């Protein structure tokens, strides 16, 4: 067994962030159910794997009765390609991705917050948080998740399978919902959503993408293949409702001029959707204007045009 390695990552709300066992075996997560040692080490950031939402209901009832009078809930759901291989090996890769992403996101909320994993959905129960607090945490988690997925897309690790879609919602109790079940359902209504090119779609049109990717005919098939050739993600759909802090990173006029749509920020890295991710002049201009490193992704021209109109 490999040793536990601990890194000091930073401080959020007065809590020191510790990341443990970053070099763990594939598929091993920080679940309280699978690692009994977690029960005796409260300094670690842990989550609980559940089978039904009833566990969330029970936890909300307990917390609001004994600890705080309000909570917020952020949900994130991962979607995976269902066509093609259905072997046990494929399922293992999916589970590895789910736990890998959750282990990174768990560090972005407080140790006192409660995190659940139900199938491919994450539930972040934020103690003493209101609706606005839930939205702020949702934005933080969403930006980090996009960056992680982009990293998976560019990695050669075959044991990590990139999701083909992600969605997220949030709600508060008792502020926005007086019934706990409605509170959980409310957080399941996605306010953020992104679709990524599936593996099957990416395999189409590889032979023609170099000379025909500017043509409208067949673009839906050729763009994902082009993105794969360039080693970057492809987004077929762009989120329409961006957090204000993300919109403010790029001036709308500059976004229109350069044809780029801001998607998220992770530390000093700004992710933008573009039609030509190889446009070095545009990337350099964007770097100079924002002071950040730019991570470009490819998207459909009509999708980019529609999204840019939302910034004006």
Low pLDDT (below 50) residues in the chain: 1-29, 32-42, 83-87, 157, 199-217
- Number of structural domains in the chain: 2
131 and 214 belong to one structural domain: no
Start-to-end CA distance of the chain, whole Å, equals: 55
149 and 215 belong to one structural domain: no
The last residue of a domain, from among 194, 227, 253: 194
Q: Is residue 181 situated within a structural domain? A: yes
| 100-139 per-position pLDDT tens digit | 999 999 999 999 999 999 999 999 999 999 999 999 999 8
208 and 148 belong to one structural domain: no
Q: Is residue 131 situated within a structural domain? A: yes
CA distances 73 to 100, 105, 278, Å, are 21, 14, 39
Q: Is residue 30 situated within a structural domain? A: yes
The last residue of a domain, from among 165, 194, 223: 194
- What pLDDT score was predicted for residue 210? 39
Q: Is residue 133 situated within a structural domain? A: yes
85 and 211 belong to one structural domain: no
Count helices and strands (H / E) in the chain.
Answer: 11, 12
Q: Is residue 282 situated within a structural domain? A: yes
- What pLDDT score was predicted for residue 84? 38
The last residue of a domain, from among 154, 174, 194: 194
- What pLDDT score was predicted for residue 90? 53
67 and 157 belong to one structural domain: yes
Distance CA 118, CA 104 (A): 17
Q: Is residue 40 situated within a structural domain? A: yes
The stretches of the chain forming alpha helices (DSSP H) are 54-66, 88-106, 131-154, 180-188, 199-202, 209-212, 219-230, 244-247, 252-258, 280-290, 301-309
- What pLDDT score was predicted for residue 269? 87
Does the predicted TM-score (pTM) go above 0.95? no
H or E segment and range at residue 117 = strand 114-118
- What pLDDT score was predicted for residue 264? 86
73 and 182 belong to one structural domain: yes
CA distances 200 to 80, 89, 164, 246, 307, Å, are 12, 18, 11, 31, 26
124 and 224 belong to one structural domain: no
Q: Which domain holds residue 212?
A: 200-309
């Amino acid at each position: 067994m490999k040793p536990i390695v601990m890194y000091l990552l930073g401080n959020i709300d007065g809590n020191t962030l510790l990341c443990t066992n970053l070099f763990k075996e594939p598929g091993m997560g920080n679940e309280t159910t699978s690692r009994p040692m977690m029960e005796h080490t409260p300094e670690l950031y842990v989550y609980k794997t559940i089978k039904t939402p009833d566990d969330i209901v029970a936890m909300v009832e307990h917390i609001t009765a004994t600890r705080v009078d309000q909570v917020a809930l952020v949900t994130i759901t991962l979607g995976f390609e269902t066509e093609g291989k259905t072997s046990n090996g494929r399922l293992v890769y999916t589970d590895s991705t789910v736990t890998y992403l959750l282990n990174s996101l768990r560090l972005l909320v407080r140790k006192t917050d409660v995190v659940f994993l139900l199938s491919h959905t994450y539930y972040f129960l934020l103690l003493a948080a209101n609706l606005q607090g839930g939205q702020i945490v949702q934005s933080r988690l969403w930006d980090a998740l996009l960056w992680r997925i982009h990293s998976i897309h560019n990695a050669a690790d075959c044991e990590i399978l990139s999701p083909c879609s992600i969605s997220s919602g949030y709600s508060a109790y008792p502020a926005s919902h007086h019934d706990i079940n409605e509170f959980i359902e409310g957080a399941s209504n996605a306010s953020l959503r992104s679709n990524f090119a599936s593996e099957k779609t990416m395999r189409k049109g590889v032979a023609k993408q170099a000379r025909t990717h500017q043509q409208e005919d067949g673009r839906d098939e050729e763009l994902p293949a082009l993105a794969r050739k360039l080693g970057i993600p492809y987004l077929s759909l762009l989120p329409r409702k961006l957090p204000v802090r993300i919109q403010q990173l790029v001036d709308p006029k500059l976004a229109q001029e350069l044809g780029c749509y801001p998607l998220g920020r992770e530390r000093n890295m700004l992710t933008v959707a573009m039609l030509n991710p190889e446009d070095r002049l545009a990337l350099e201009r964007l770097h100079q204007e924002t002071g950040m490193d730019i991570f470009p992704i490819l998207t459909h021209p009509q999708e980019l045009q529609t999204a840019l109109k939302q910034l004006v």
